[in-house]
Amino acid sequence: MLAHEQLKSANSTLDLRIATSSARPDTGHVLVIVHGLPRALGMGRQAAGLLPELAEHLANESGWIVATGTFSGVGGSTGTFSATQWSADLRAILNRVDDHDRRISLAGFGFGGSLALAIAAHDERVRGVATFAAPAHLEHWCRSAEDFHRAVQVAGVVGDEKDLLAPEALRDDVLAIDPLGSVALIPPRRLLIGHGADDLEVPVADARDLLASAEGRAELRIIQGAGHQLRADPRMVATLLGWLDRHR
């Protein structure tokens, strides 16, 4: 079953979907799926398009409650992208699913994986993090401030142009996320790092750098022949389901 609701985050209204299973017993766990930042023309409206279906599948197969929301400027959510705003969005979703009894984990894709690490590093409610194709070196991922600013505009994650930060400020806001510093603070909580061997947007070396910063205290899964888009890859789904099943 997939329930739809809306959630306030500062001046944004977020679309949130929460999937539960009617076939599997409740495990007492919640997984929050964190989407990435689109870089292609007009993809802001579609960036999280497959995630409700993925949430339903994961919930039905695992017995977990699985939540997936679209952050500011993405899908049907209002507002404008910035790393600070998306951090607030994720905290709002965590506050919504936190009932003090359930154990919360995060699964992030692309930049969403980097963001998940940053939030989890300082939020002990998060008991585990899985990342897929997450950039470890955001300065390389952003490229120049002007290029990144243009990519955000082209992707269509800007609700109102006046709310979009200037190029240098927008890039600096993203660089404050610090995936390598954040991942070091996750263990002994559970950590899964997944990456496509043929990822052209985020080098597979970034996954190994994240593992090194966690001092090897993580599961590393390199998916052969896979590129950057892992959300619909059945091997990624199987890897994530296996991780959920072992997460007791």
**pLDDT of the residue at 132:** 96
Looking at CATH, the fold of the domain delimited by 2-246 is given as Rossmann fold (3.40.50)
Tokens 């992030």 belong to 108
Domain boundaries, the chain: 2-246
pTM of this prediction?
0.94
Mean pLDDT of 131-147: 96
pLDDT for 181-229, tens place per residue? 999 999 999 999 999 999 999 999 999 999 999 999 999 999 999 878 8
pLDDT for 26-53, tens place per residue? 778 999 999 999 877 656 666 667 788 9
Mean pLDDT of 75-104: 94
